Chains A and B, each alone.
Chain A
């Protein structure tokens, strides 16, 4: 048998699940954040309808990310979750509010506004919490033995606030470009306008996080700037610049599909940058992928399922998106 490095494979699988989650739930959380900017009921109905058939599937990737982490890297799960206690609970409660709002807002006229606020507030809270969690992981947590050894406010730093706000901006951009793709007329015009604003803000956020990260740990600085690493790592900012240029062009030319997919590319590059910083740690500077890995037989047992099922899942998920493809038409008379 060829020797395979299972923990590396699993690190990529978990990273893939989290990335799919970020881009898929990212745009529908972004729509929630943008909700107050679209006060008209008609627009809100269209926005909701554009994601109602798929949001549940999008969130399932979050469950896979968490469940997969527990199964494949139980030590990392056991250290990170208590370290991120407050942001995690805040995220879960935020997701409760926005998740039920999808159904509840259609079941009441009197309290619809309340569920619209819940949709916005829940989306914002969940996004902020996810961004803060990311920052808190990057800056590292205090570990003793096999468990978290810090306090319950350790996660709160200027850096984690920065990553929290950055993610809010990023998801808003995803949401705005999704609307460009899925809507028509005046609603789409406003989505273009918002895309411009959030793209500029996103570039600022990427810049700020990129500048701040090397100051967290000297290892991050070495990883990015040491010769010959820099030959490889420099490709990331270069690619960001190229994608940005394409994105600006697509917005200027009012393309329908390109802005969304180019934004996804921007997310992918930021995510790759994150991976470059973190590797080979799963809890930065404390626990490596190999130290956290579950025993081989657990990782192998799940790998069989993942190899067979992920392609199938991607297949029927794509089918569901295909069924609800195209622009969402504002239909009157039903609700």
Chain B
């Protein structure tokens, strides 16, 4: 593909091959190149895509508006999920397919608590922070359930999480007695829309906080190292004094917490929930983000930043397709094409071929571009 040309950092003369190779070999190369391609496409097709304007929303607050803001805003839930999904993938070599259903559960718990069991409420029945904490606890428990099945009963992650995938939305409905509760209190929607006086959508801040948290956690704790070593070789990490089961369980609990935060953002966007539609198929996008990030779905080495960029790529693509009025029924097909391209490009066999091509004289390199 055309990737080498697109990279502005590609040096002109002598050190070309070494640097290029290093660049293309870097795990973040594929997702960043995909992002760059999308940006480039939009720049050429219609630069107004990147226009950001200041508007006033119906409450009289100044708010930023534009495609870029929409991408950053709408990708929030996916980014948060992708981080948790990366850890789960790395430690257990499998994916949690129940995150969408679990988001429905977390959202349902939060709404049930703030509405005080009413179908429709104008004020919050309890402090929001407590309701969110309850959602986090419930979601972490379900994460622990998944994790226990995977770590202690050695069930394939996809099969283990299939249970919650199937039952989750019914549980979410049961939590609210099958009603669809509505929260009309404006302050409930702050987390999903805008804080008064702040023009940037709140989900962007929440996502930034989550990313910052994991950056710190990976930098200052052994979370990353332990997760990785368990994923690479559970028995040898056991011989080195780690408890692989506990670490697998822990990653599922962490994903559970991520799910609760994502679920909270999603329900506070509108103050309501629809159990069978909320976050439908988001698990597939989350797994896709992990794959786009260049992470091996079989576990082991991982890079959460790759997954984060992957999640933004998916949302960028979706927003671009909306802009060009691709029917939303056709969206999955377009996504599939992109996925096939990226996954094939990042496959080791192809990478090796590409590397060989680059080693060859300039002529070959030209052909690649």
The answer to whether A and B belong to the same complex is no
- Interface of B with A (CB < 8 Å)? none
